[in-house]
Structure 1
Amino acid sequence: MGDIHELVIKHGREVARAMVRPEDRPLVDIAAEILADDRQHLGITYSGFCLTSLPHKKLADDAPWEKRGHQVTLLVEPGRLKVNGKMKLFGVPYGARARMILIYLQTQAIRTGRREVELGRSMRDWLTRMGISVGGETFKGFREQSLRISACGLKFFWDGAEADAFEKGGIVKRGLIFHENATDERQGSLWEDVVQLDETFFQALQDHPVPLLEEAIRQLKDRSLSLDLYVWLAYRLHSLQKPQPITWASLYGQFGAGYDQMKHFKPRFVQAMQYALAAYPGAKVEGADEGFILHPSRPPIARLTA
């Protein structure tokens, strides 16, 4: 994937696009945007989300989600919220939109050092900043995921460590509610003015934040598996002391939920990895017959201040 970045640096975006296969041109566009990003805005996620992840697709509303990662297991359980005076069951959050919301909330919490995240009068500005147009279906999708995040219960179980701290934890304690009639800028804020993160989750985030490049998150906003791979690489690569082989069996165990067979998983994973690497120029990842080899690399962004 380093060749894509080298092509852009040497020849510029348009010439580089003409030099690659048509299906690889989106990779050139991502690489060009990342290389041109002078702002270097910071994004943040909790280390647990780098090693395991939310589902990519919708589950049954009453179905819990359990995902095993390297030395950690994530359990997300459906929850209930009162909507229009009635209690309603919400399934676990899923997909790229849920991941985007979580990264935004975690980033703001670390920037301010407070678990109360002020959203301002309109989320429209943030959605625009992320390159997401605010329309009817987009609004409904973000509202649904915000409700699922608010309702769910969250537990991380770390191998060889106490997991009781997460026993009753969630992600959001209160406030992450879209207003149904606030799709127009003149209607006021799209969300409640303040979101309060769960105290246990906030403490874990403060103790183990992982820096991300916000532009990379923007470029991968519609690709949930690529987002997962990007945050995984952001966590793993800079901490390596020597090359680390990762087998296909291990990758399938961590990222293969939803794929019945390895033969269906491999091509989807390779494609998602290409997009993740396009958004992470410093990543040194080598393909191998048995899987991939991770090499020590610099982090995607080197600072924890915005």
Structure 2
Amino acid sequence: MSNHVQRIAQQAYDNVVLPNDHNQLLFQHTVLCQVYLPYRDPGIEQKNWVRQQGKAYFAIRATEVFNPATEKFDTILGLPYGPKARLILTHINTLALQQRNPQIEISDSLTAFVKSLGLAHNGYQIDAIKNQLGRLASSMISIAFASEEQRSFQVDSKIIKGFDLWFPKNPNQRVMWDSCITLSDDYFNSLMNHAVPLDRRHLAALSNNALALDIYTWLAQRLHRVEHNKKEFVHWQGLKEQFGEGYDRIDKFKSVFRHTLQLVLTQYHSAKIQEEKNKGFYLHNSPPPVPPKLIQIPKVGEY
């Protein structure tokens, strides 16, 4: 592992404010550990985003929201993207699982969450996170699993079905977000059955890198499912299709993926992944980043 990667990881970890309990968790939906949101802002013009990985399928579509100034459904906030959208989802997933209730309050916990991830909890960061919340709230999603028997299970809904946006009088200000959100019943029920536990310290150290977060969550849900004493192979082309948004050249993607993987492995130490030169990687059975015996939904207020 390069000194540069170690230095970046240590700097990120040094900025994290940790509680006494080092086993606090965050949760991501298993489909979003395999297929991902955009890395960069696709722009208002792009309203659909569709991804597939193996038997998991994910689609998200930006919808119009009601603007009280015009009394019309004419405002498009855009698709959620980047590391903040990913982190927000783990946060609201965890709150919903903590409370075992699809209706959650986020106002007090949001600033604490931002701080716990080592992000500057200033107005700019909070506004950026609220902007991503608005994008998530105004988007429709489809999550599907296909089986070998040509059967499928599919959820079509919003992640967030109830939300309160406010429109500032100054048109140059961003549309903002209120404190209470309600997850859709379909998403909440699917999450209850398909939540992947993640170590909050790991996400904090990777919190500014969307690709690193994606690689980490992919390994977290994948490696422990590899059969003992066996290994699975993933080709570079498959990795590029899964993670290579925005990369036209495979050699450039390989360089970025290798570097980011090393960053991930500074956190997920027990991950066993071995490169076969110029071909891809072997995945070996590995303990998940959170041992099953430590998986306990933390109580509200423990952030």
Fold shared per TM-score above 0.5: yes
Aligned to 2:266: 278
- TM-score computed with the length of structure 2 as normaliser: 0.83
- C-alpha deviations, 1:20-65, integer Å up to 9, x for none? 634531234567899x985211111110001100010111313211
| Equivalent pair of 2:15/2:118 in contact (CA under 8 Å) | no
Mapped contact 1:147–1:176 kept (Cα < 8 A): no
Quote the residue 1:261 is aligned against: 249
Q: Secondary structure at the match of 1:99?
A: helix
Partner residue in 1 for 2:286: 297
* 1:25 maps to amino acid: R
Change (3 A) 1:32 1:274: farther
1:153–1:62: structure 2 CA closer, same or farther, 3 Å change rule? farther
Letter in 2 for 1:221: S
The aligned counterpart of 2:55 is: 71
Q: Is residue 81–residue 89 contact of structure 1 (8 Å, CA) maintained in 2?
A: yes
Residue ranges of structure 1 left out of the alignment (5+ in a row): 2-19, 182-189
Question: In the alignment, what sits opposite 1:237?
Answer: 223
For structure 2, the 5+ residue unaligned runs are 170-175, 299-303
| Pair 1:178–1:112, CA change in 2 (3 A) | farther
Change (3 A) 1:228 1:178: farther
For 2:301, the equivalent position in structure 1 comes to none
TM-score of the superposition, structure 1-length normalised?
A: 0.82
> Which AA in structure 1 matches 2:297?
T
For 1:162, the equivalent position in structure 2 comes to: 152
Give the counterpart letter for 1:60 in structure 2. Answer: G
Q: Name the CA distance, whole Å, in 2 between partners of 1:103 and 1:30.
A: 19
Q: 2:34 aligns with which of 51, 56, 78?
A: 51
Q: Residue 81 of structure 2 aligns to which amino acid in structure 1? A: Y
1:21 aligns with 2:3: yes
Equivalent-residue separation in structure 2 for 1:214 and 1:151 (angstroms): 27
1:197: which partner in 2? Answer: 183
- Supply the distance in 2 between the matched residues of 1:261 and 1:114 (Cα, whole angstroms): 45
For 1:191 and 1:215, locate their aligned partners in 2 and report how far apart those are by CA, in whole Å. 27
SS at match of 1:300: coil
- Aligned equivalent of 2:110: 123
User: What SS class does the counterpart of residue 88 from structure 1 fall into?
Assistant: strand
Return closer, same or farther for 1:238/1:176 CA change in 2, 3 Å cut-off: farther
Count residues in correspondence: 277
Secondary structure of the 1:245 match is strand
Q: Which stretch of structure 1 is more off in the superposition, 80-89 or 196-205? A: 80-89
Alignment partners' CA distance in 1, 2:287 and 2:14? 19
Q: 1:117 to 1:180 in 2, by over 3 A?
A: farther
Q: Give the superposed CA RMSD.
A: 2.5
Q: Write 1 or 2 for the structure with the bigger share of helix.
A: 1
CA distance in 1, matches of 2:82, 2:164: 17
> How far apart are the structure 2 equivalents of 1:65 and 1:246?
24
Residue equivalent to 1:11? none
Task: Specify whether residues 39 and 226 from structure 1 end up closer, same or farther in structure 2 by C-alpha distance, changes over 3 A only.
Answer: same
Looking at structure 2, the residues matched to 84 and 45 of structure 1 have their Cα atoms a distance apart, in angstroms, of 34
Q: Report the Cα offset of residue 292 of structure 1.
A: 1.1
One-letter amino acid of the counterpart of residue 305, structure 1: I
1:250 to 238, 258, 261: 238
Alignment partners' CA distance in 2, 1:30 and 1:232: 21
Query: Is residue 211 from structure 1 mapped to residue 197 from structure 2 by the alignment?
Result: yes
Q: Distance in 1 between matches of 2:214 and 2:37?
A: 9
Higher-strand-fraction structure: 2
Q: Percent identity?
A: 25
| Cα-to-partner distance string for 1:272-305 (whole Å, 9 max, x where unaligned) | 1112111211111112211111111111112143
Aligned to 1:144: 131
Q: Counterpart of 2:69?
A: 85
Which deviations, in whole Å up to 9, do the C-alpha atoms of 1:69-98 show, x marking residues without a partner?
121221111111224534301221000010
